[in-house]
Amino acid sequence: MELTVAIERWPIAGTFRIARGAKTEAAVVTARLSDGTHVGRGECVPYARYGETVEGVAASLRALAPAVAAGLDRAALQDRLPPGAARNALDCAFWDFAAKTSGRSAAELAGLPAPGPVTTAYTLSLEAPAAMAAAAVAARKPLLKLKLGGDGLDLERVAAVHGACPDSRLIVDANEAWTPALLLDQGPAMAGLGVALIEQPLPAAADAALAGIDSPVPLCADESCHSSADLPRLARLYSHVSVKLDKTGGLTEAIALTRAARDLGLGVMVGCMVGTSLAMAPALLLAGAADFVDLDGPLLLARDRVPGLRYEGAVIRPAEGDLWG
């Protein structure tokens, strides 16, 4: 079997800004498996926060081409690469290839129910309060995710969005930018402003401080949660975990992480980086086991892959087989 790897750049509609910085394009890496008749594809989004670069991830995958040609399979891949973007692209390509060659869906092969229509959160980029409120009104979505910055304006941002869209449920994502004092100070007010979940308030390296905080809003681990090995520690600090295939290293570990989290009584949010529908389609298989779905990556792009997922407002329609799975 032949493995080919490509770097693609997809323009973002405007600028996507979080506490760590801003970008105007999504740089993704794709893995393509072919036996000359069938093709399986996967997409990942390398993330600098985890020490990844687009070129480095692509090089890691290209280095595996001889092993793939010699018979490396999805099971062996789990030990060959660590959790992260590179393993995600190839793991998802293996799932897609298996679906294409077997004539069965990836969901069926994974022992998961076929995905149905699901409502996704819609992310508002970090901006001034009035600008975020205007973006919320323009979006008109029932579940909004607000990127926050820990700069003293976060409560104003949430209040502005809640005032503009009082019927929308809110998730706030600090991307590690808060302190314990900020969480203690702002948590009660945010509970009164329709916030249903606070995502990664503290830096991952400092989140042990959450053990002494009784938050009025449920807390979700994102940067702190990569694989099921993280769960015993996180279960003492958070009520929810964010499952992203680019962190877990693909659908295989994402399924294991989701099941293990549920077994521990943790809630689950299925999330994503900013990528195309090819990256969202495998994650959609986990939506049925999630409390929150945040798979809006293509909605943030100026254009998406064709064919892609079908977004009708905030509702995602399941992928067709010619996209993935």
Q: Which residues are catalytic?
A: 147, 244
- Asked if 300 contacts 68 with a C-beta cutoff of 8 angstroms, the reply is no
For the beta carbon of residue 117, count every other beta carbon within 10 angstroms.
11
- Asked if 219 contacts 238 with a C-beta cutoff of 8 angstroms, the reply is yes
Helices (H), the chain: 54-62, 65-69, 74-80, 85-102, 106-110, 129-139, 154-164, 180-191, 231-234, 245-248, 251-263, 277-283
Q: Describe the strand order of the beta sheet including 310-312 as a list of residue ranges.
A: 118-119, 315-317, 310-312
The rounded distance, in Å, linking the Cα atoms of 96 and 105 is: 8
Question: Could you tell me which residues are beta bridge partners of residue 41?
Answer: 32
Kindly give, in sequence order, each residue whose CB lies less than 8 Å from that of residue 64, ignoring residues fewer than 6 positions away: 3, 72, 80, 81, 90
